[in-house]
Structure formats: C-alpha cells, structure tokens
Structure 1
Amino acid sequence: MDDFMIPLSILDLSPIVQGKTVSDSFAQSTLMAQQAEARAYKRFWLAEHHGMSNVASSSPAVLLSHIGAATTSIRLGSGGVMLPNHSPLIIAEQFGTLAELYPNRIDLGLGRAPGTDMQTARALRRNMNAAVDQYPDDVRELQHFLGKPEENQKVIAVPGRNTHVPIWMLGSSLYSAQVAAEFGLPYSFASHFAPDQLIQALTVYRRNYRPSDTNPVAHTMAGVMAVVADTDEEAAYLFTSVQQQFINLRRGNNVPFAKPVESMDALWSVSEKHMINHTLQYAFVGSKESVKFKMKSFVEKTGIDELIVSFPIYDAEKRLKSLALMAEVRDELGAA
C-alpha cells in the first residue's frame, strides 16, 4: 500500500455537549456515521466509557445496532469494549448479534482499562483484581465463543458461534502491544491520549508478532484527535473544547463537553497547560494544509497501516465539516 493511500476511520465517543441531551448525542453519532460512509471512511467505532457526563457511548453494542440500521456498508465496531467489565460470553452474544444483523461489517476492539473511575469500575466489575489478571484468558475465551463450537461443547454463544467477528487489541501501553503480538491480532494504539509509548509499543508489537490463521501479518492502527477547519485560527479555537475537557478530567470535574473559548489563559495553570499540550501532541489541529503536513509526518513516523480519528468539536455542524475536510486531506495525500 502507498504510504498515503491509508484507510481512515472514526472513533466516536458520542459526546454530550453543554445544552444538549443524550438523545441529541445519539442522533449526531448516527449522522456522523452516515457522513463517514459517504466520505469513504473505513470504520466507525464507539468507545466504552461509564459515568461520564460528556460521553454517551456507555453501551457500544446497543448504539452500534442503531447506527447499523442507518448505514449500509461502513464497518462498525468498538474502540473498544473494556473486556474486564464483562463476561466474555455476554460480549460474544452481543457482537454475535451484531454480526448476524450486519454481516461482514462488525469489528470487536478490546481494551483492558475500566473506562471510568475506580468507584464506578467496582460497580461494574464487582471483583476488581481477578477481572484484570485474567484478561488474556478472557480474550481466548471470547475467541472460542465466536468460533466454531467443539464437539460436546457445553457453553455456546447463540448468537455468536461461527461468526468469527474480527478482534482488535487496543491499548496505550507496552502490555497491550505484547498481548496483541502473542495472540496474532491487529493492534490499535491510543496516541490521542497516551503519546509517550506510541513508537515503542508499535515496535514491540511488530518485533514480537506471531502470525495467526486470521492475521498472517502484523497490522497496526493509531488513534489521533482531529480538528480541521478553514483556518488554523478557527481550528485552534474549536480545539479549546477538548483542552477544557482534559482540565476537567485532571481536576475531577464531571461536566458536559464545553463550548470553545477565545483564550485558555485564564482557565489553566502553567503546569496544566504543559501537561495537556504534551498529552495532545499528536492532535491534527489546523487548516487542511496544516493537517496534511501533520498527517503525512505522523504516518511516516509510525509506519501505521490505518489511522482512526476522533473529532472533539462542540458544534455539530463544525464536527461534520471537520469530518469532510479530513477526508479531503486523505484523498489529496493519496493523489499526491
């Protein structure tokens, strides 16, 4: 594949913005998926988060079913399901159901983090320690439920069995890279919020990759945030929403996604500014020309096979425009 004929996908958190409802968020996610399909994005994934006032995608499988009915061809999936929050059988049944409803369109991305605070995680998991420690075993069990049942197998996933839903390993650490390599699964790194180990994790994954029947070669994807607008100045203005979100996360303020502001100076301390700018260092923020340079540089640096982007933008129309402009950036880089 030419370096810049790179598949482009969307990671959506179904953001709940100030002054809007959860229903509004779901309607906007559906519209985003439809526009992504029209613009030849490859995948539309939803992330599992819990108890967050700015994220509506706590039940990815349920929302994916709704979005599947409103689209026809784009791949749909989780980015990801936090497997320690669930039994593998439940996830096999949920994504087996999706695979039967929308054949050859469903991906199952798996993560190990709780996707929430520790108190909410306890309410989800009940047994905090065992759930994390047995993560690799749970992945194997999930693969087993989605595959062909063995003779006299007592526990089967219906729906689920024989669907062979493609599984992706997601992560922000070297641990996830090692597990993905050992299991022979495609790997997506969360560079949109964990930039420090990006290159090392991709290297560990590729170096230790064990080919599998379904994935004979290593396959990598990375996540970035993207805010593309007509000018660099407008994009920087729109990006203040996610900068405020990271301040709120750091301070423990559980509030809806904020409106953009003209200046961040009065809202963050010097240390917060440095921390957030470091965390978001790979974000593609700017005009088409600026983002084109950033995307080209990022793909060259990482050698990834796919790119998945989130659009952390308050205004619904600006979010859709950013989606369209990002597709144009991809097409222009490919043509070049």
Structure 2
Amino acid sequence: MTNEQLRIGLIGTGRIGKVHAANIAALPETTLTWVIDPYIAGAEAIAAERGARATADPAEAFASGDLDAVVIASPTSTHADLIERAIAAGIPVLCEKPIDLDIARVDKLAPVVEGSGVPFAVGFNRRFDRDFSLARERLIAGEVGDLEQLAIISRDPAPPTVENLRTTGGMFRDQTIHDFDMARYFAPDIVEVFATGSQLFDDGAKQTSDFDTAMVTMRTSTGVQISITNSRHSSIGYDQRIEIFGGEGMLEVGNAGTSLVSYSNATAVKTTTPYQHFFLERYAEAYLEELREFSRLVRGEESRCSTFADGRAALLLADAAELSAREGRVVRVDLDR
C-alpha cells in the first residue's frame, strides 16, 4: 500500500454514516470515492457534497477497482452479508457494531474473515477516546496497582424510537455492547455475568419487551469485579464515566461538559454548564481517531483497531446478560471458544 490517499466507500447514509462521511473527507490520508445505500437519494446527496460516486448496489462499487476499503454503517441486519461480500472482493472493512445479532451467524462468518488475510475492524470507537485510552495506559503502567474493581456508567439522554428498538436487538446488544467492549478493554478475561433489567419509564421498552434500565455485574478469571450501570434516559445529559480501582489508588474518567467555565456566588459554588448531549459530541474525536487507526490497519501498519474476535466477545457478553436478566441467574461465559 502506497502513501497515497486511501479510497474508501461508505455503506449507509444515516446518522452515523454522515459522521463517517465527514471524517473520511476530513482526514488527509483518506478520500470518499463511493457512497452506497438502497436509499439512493441519501447516497446521492452525500456523494454530491463529497465529490464521490453514488450507487444503490454494493456490487457496483466492489467491482469498480477504485476502492481500498469500505466502512459499513448500514442497519445491523445487513452487516454480516456486506462483510462477507467485501471480504470476498478483497476489500478491507470497518464495520459498525454489532457484527450481527445472531452469534451463530457471527461464528459462521469468523473463519471467512479471519482466514482471508483481509484487514477487518469493528467500530468500538470508545477505545479511541483520549481519556479512556490514557486511563488504560496508566493502569497498565501500574499506577493503581493490580486492578480490583472496574465501574462503568453509561446513560443515554433519551430512549430510542420504538422502530429502532424493534430492529437493534435490545438494550444489551445495542447500548450495553459498547460497555462490554470497554470492560474487556480494561479486563479481557471475563468468565461470569449477572444482569438485571427493568421497565421504569419508556413505553417503547414495554411494547418491545426490552429494558430501559439495567445493571450488569461481571467477574474475571482472577476475581476482578466489573459493574455496568445503564439507563435509556438521563436528565443531566450524556452520562459517561469510568472508575478504575486498584490496591494502590484509583483512576476516574468523568463526563465531558460543554464549557470549562464555572460560576460561583453567594448561593452556589462552581456552577457549570451541562454535560455534552449525546455520543456525536462526546465521541467526535474518538470516531476520527478510529478512522486514522483503520487507515493504518489497511496500510499494513501497527493499529489499535478492534478485531473480529473483539466484536464476537462483546456479543457473547450481551447474549449472556440478556439470558441472565430473563432467567435471574449467573451465566458463565467462555470468550475464547
């Protein structure tokens, strides 16, 4: 691979697709050459804005000869098929999470991807957040001693639509899956999952038999305890925090605010602005860094990208949490099998 710009195709022109399109255009090492979506008007709009070509048919772009890689940001139900087709064409893939909602389909796809030698990455963008990455580096450096407890809090500002809930696989496979990957980022050898879920406020969750509130407790093979706290609403804004506790200290990553300015007077001290509203603001730089790392992977350079195995492990944990919450029991997992 030369140092010329990587020619990237984008599949999917929804909210996250637009983020990827902007980032591909923003990085000096990448250029957007194809935009692919059955909703051709959406593809044509982004293509016209970015100087790319538009098509409703992935096969046209895959056979064009001017694609070095593809970013899959289409609905989850399309991921596995598109991955398989891109890999068969020898085109490196960055796919949004999850790989698929069915672990059997993921397991069937695993040898195809892993045996191909074609670069592949899963879009767990939080690994590329500057502060989460720094906290992990400091943990590895031994600043807090051996890890004993990891606490992850992740609350969205508002519930998704009922239509979204019907297609995304439920809270654990849609929202919590990011937190499962974060848990493995700090403590990969998880062997035990216990989860509880509630329907406290969201009619959509009740209509789809999903949860709007959940807590997960996990344990590693060495006894490290991990907790994940989720909610589908948060009046304080996008709530994203991590606490890393060890025998010699603690590391904390707090929420990102909209301003560093605080105000104090006779009735309040250090009143500050709200937290950032949602993931598009909170993880804007992480998405950009993810694309940089994917570019390195495609060029054959050292990269921090999440692997197919990472995507599979996160889905296994999501499935275990779903089973645990439904049956009220601890579920053992083997993420390496």
TM-score range, shorter chain: 0.3 to 0.5
Give 1 or 2: higher strand fraction: 2
User: Which has more radius of gyration?
Assistant: 2
Query: Taking structure 2 as the reference length, what is the TM-score of the superposition?
Result: 0.35
Give 1 or 2: higher helix fraction: 1
